[in-house]
Structure 1
Amino acid sequence: MGKRKVHLLDYVAGNIRSLVNAIEQCGWEVEWIRSPEAVANAEYYYVHSYFAPYTPSALEALGWTVATATYGDETYIGAIGRNNVFATQFHPEKSGTAGLRVIEAFLEGRAFSDPDPTFTHIAAPLSHQGSHNGLTRRIIACLDVRTNDQGDLVVTKGDQYDVREKDSRNVRNLGKPVELAKRYYQQGADEVTFLNITSFRDCPLTDLPMLEILRQTSEEVFVPLTIGGGIRDMFDPGTNRTVSALEVAKMYFESGADKVSIGSDAVSAAEAWWTRGGKGDGMSGIETISSAYGRQAVVVSVDPKRVYVRSPDEAKSHTCIKTEDLRGGDDAGKEYVWFACTIKGGRETRDFDVVQLLKAVEAMGCGEILLNAIDRDGSNRGYDLELINLAKRSVTIPVIASSGAGKPAHFIEVFEKTGVDAALGAGMFHRGEYTVAQVKEELAKSDLLVRPFEEFR
């Protein structure tokens, strides 16, 4: 008998459509498990560009059980099941303990059953009023990984990108990468990001230490993993040839990464994009990786720093704002600021502003922005709200706030005052001052929708 390919959603739903601003459907969505009437207290991870609209009772009349999800005003099919067929729009393998229950139920022939979840009580109602197009507010744990002076791979944390202790000048050692990633997953982190800040220029590509870290982490952590650092064209001493950024990304994806984060190379590509009159050449890492894997797999990590000026004219062609975060010293009396992009871990400043960068990388295929702030890094003063609001006005793709978080109130502030899509924490988690679960509990008390903390099983 000849084989025939059947696209399940085409077969069942027929009308497949593209989401408006599709890349924004990247996050955790409240989901109905048994039926649209029986709401389960769980969220699942979505990242997609197309969907099958939900027509009430249409599929149910054909014997299908349907779970729905929403994005803005759109209601679409999140999962369908009938007999031994079960299909999901979301990613159960990246949806934490709730997703593992879905997989377990399917394997045991209980496709739409959901064993009692083990949620820790949050003393506040979870309301869609605090959601972002129906998505929860994502909390991301970030681990800066580098070799210490003994040659071990460790998690560290910088103070304005300086990762060495001020007294001994030794690299700060805050723990082992895989162990910390697992801890944050068990605390309820919605995503985990590894930023590799060590150069392995003399290491064969297939032996890169971060590959093994990803492999081990993906066996223990069932939420999306992002890897940054070294995603560029590079010389491989193992094969004596230059490999492309796409090939490097492919190895990371095959080792367990869901997204790759591009830093300095994104600045170079964006500068070239403007030089060509707003056109890409199809050869940058952003373009090649997004073309092969989809723009949702490409994050651009931005490292801007403040440049204070007395007037917008002094900023020349750069996008300039009036700031309330005034300084003394050489910057005394300067009430305006523009944000200069940096490369090489913040060591080199370019005559290129953050708005120019953001517009270029979005056009080239970036799906998400990781927005750092050198001036706030390690400060525990809270996020740079002026920078974040400027970024949100400049692009339509999701923006992750990074740098400066020192307590749960900073997460509440950034979500309420900027509408940012996700917020990243590092040092406050590494030092054990707060847990991810504690941050989420405080967000819920402020009526911001989060994926509830569920005890690891």
Structure 2
Amino acid sequence: MLTKRIVPCLDVNMGKVVKGINFVNLKDVGDPVDIAQYYNKQGADEIVFLDITATYEKRKTLIDVVERTGEKVFIPLTVGGGISGIDDFKIILRAGADKISVNSAAIRNPNLIYEAADKFGSQCVVVAIDAKKRAEDQGWDVFIEGGRKNTGIDAIEWVKKVESLGAGEILLTSMDADGTKNGYDIELTKAVAESVNIPVIASGGCGSLEDFYDVFEDTGADAALAASLFHYGELEIKDVKEYLHKRDIPVRL
């Protein structure tokens, strides 16, 4: 059985790690390289590094931060933010990333997923999806530009499409749950995981050890991502893994 992954996320804004609630009210948490190194030692399975305002501010990902992080971290590093074309994939992979996460660019040019998978392999292509439940409670819409713009695209239809185009993984963030610490969005995560055959990383809303267990037990998620819980020292990655191991969830100890 494949082990479930615990993935800390570093949301980076102007070279600093930040955290907010429902995608707003960002607070500075510290230096990304130091934080990534710490999580590496703690036993994180991977690290996700998102330059969260790059696309909105129409600039590229902070390459120097990626390079410095890549030099110090010996687990897979996924980098996203400000990706607009195939050249950005090449530059960021060369800087030390193992995978590239695309969100807005994939919506604007779905063929980018196919091109990137064809050139670098599906394992390098992570499609990040920020989804929010519709007011009438019928499914979820996909948002882009750091949660600022509703595309009107149905999340379930979109995940099926990105898989067909060659994406190797989906990073699924529930905008409704993000930063609330009320638990992962089980309904959304389950619906997405049941719609595709590629790994799904659940993101948004984790607030306790039980939340990690619930998302693995109640959905088909392959990995659980968390940020503020780890950034503020409320939980240690090793404690999460020991807890899950005791509850028969397969993890790499």
TM-score scaled by length of structure 1: 0.54
Indicate the structure whose relative CO is greater, using CA pairs within 8 Å and at least 6 residues apart: 2
1:303 is matched with: 130
1:140 aligns with 2:17: no
Q: Residue type matched to 2:66 in 1?
A: L
CA contact (8 A) 1:267 1:341 kept: no
1:278-297 alignment runs, 5 A limit? 284-297=111-124
Cα separation, 2, equivalents of 1:216 and 1:351: 38
SS at match of 1:136: coil
1:157 aligns with 2:19: yes
- Post-superposition Cα deviations, 1:171-197, rounded to whole Å, max 9, x if no partner, equal x11111000001111110000010001
1:95 is matched with: none
Q: Residue type matched to 2:2 in 1?
A: L
- Post-superposition Cα deviations, 1:336-375, rounded to whole Å, max 9, x if no partner, equal 4310111111111122110111111111111100000100
Shift of 1:402: 0.3
Out of 64, 71, 80, the residue aligned to residue 228 of structure 1 is: 80
- Post-superposition Cα deviations, 1:46-103, rounded to whole Å, max 9, x if no partner, equal xxxxxxxxxxxxxxxxxxxxxxxxxxxxxxxxxxxxxxxxxxxxxxxxxxxxxxxxxx
Shift of 1:198: 2.6
1:251 aligns with 2:119: no
Cα separation, 2, equivalents of 1:338 and 1:189: 32
Shift of 1:202: 7.6
1:403 is matched with: 204
Q: Residue type matched to 1:258 in 2?
A: D
CA RMSD of aligned residues (A): 1.5
Cα separation, 2, equivalents of 1:450 and 1:367: 21
Shift of 1:246: 1.1
CA contact (8 A) 2:58 2:82 kept: no
CA contact (8 A) 1:156 1:163 kept: no
Relative to structure 1, the CA distance from residue 215 to residue 409 in structure 2 (aligned partners, 3 Å threshold; closer, same or farther) is same
- Post-superposition Cα deviations, 1:399-457, rounded to whole Å, max 9, x if no partner, equal 000000111110011001112111101010011111111111110110111111xxxxx
1:173 is matched with: 28
1:362 aligns with 2:163: yes
SS at match of 2:229: helix
SS at match of 2:187: helix
Cα separation, 1, equivalents of 2:120 and 2:176: 33
Structure of greater Rg: 1
Cα separation, 2, equivalents of 1:434 and 1:352: 35
Cα separation, 1, equivalents of 2:7 and 2:112: 24
2:70 is matched with: 218
TM-score scaled by length of structure 2: 0.95
- Post-superposition Cα deviations, 1:218-237, rounded to whole Å, max 9, x if no partner, equal 222110000011111xxxxx
Shift of 1:254: 0.6
Is there any run of 5+ residues in structure 1 with no aligned partner, and where?
1-133, 148-152, 165-171, 233-244, 271-283, 310-335, 453-457
Q: Residue type matched to 2:131 in 1?
A: P
Cα separation, 2, equivalents of 1:401 and 1:231: 21
| Stretches of 4+ aligned residues off by more than 2 angstroms | 198-203, 267-270
SS at match of 2:34: helix
- Post-superposition Cα deviations, 1:238-258, rounded to whole Å, max 9, x if no partner, equal xxxxxxx11111010111000
Cα separation, 1, equivalents of 2:156 and 2:211: 24
1:426 aligns with 2:227: yes
- The number of aligned residues is 252
Cα separation, 2, equivalents of 1:351 and 1:198: 21
CA contact (8 A) 1:304 1:373 kept: yes
Relative to structure 1, the CA distance from residue 175 to residue 338 in structure 2 (aligned partners, 3 Å threshold; closer, same or farther) is same
Cα separation, 2, equivalents of 1:217 and 1:346: 26
**Larger helix percent:** 2
Is there any run of 5+ residues in structure 2 with no aligned partner, and where?
none
SS at match of 1:215: helix
Relative to structure 1, the CA distance from residue 295 to residue 161 in structure 2 (aligned partners, 3 Å threshold; closer, same or farther) is same
CA contact (8 A) 2:53 2:146 kept: no
Relative to structure 1, the CA distance from residue 202 to residue 451 in structure 2 (aligned partners, 3 Å threshold; closer, same or farther) is closer
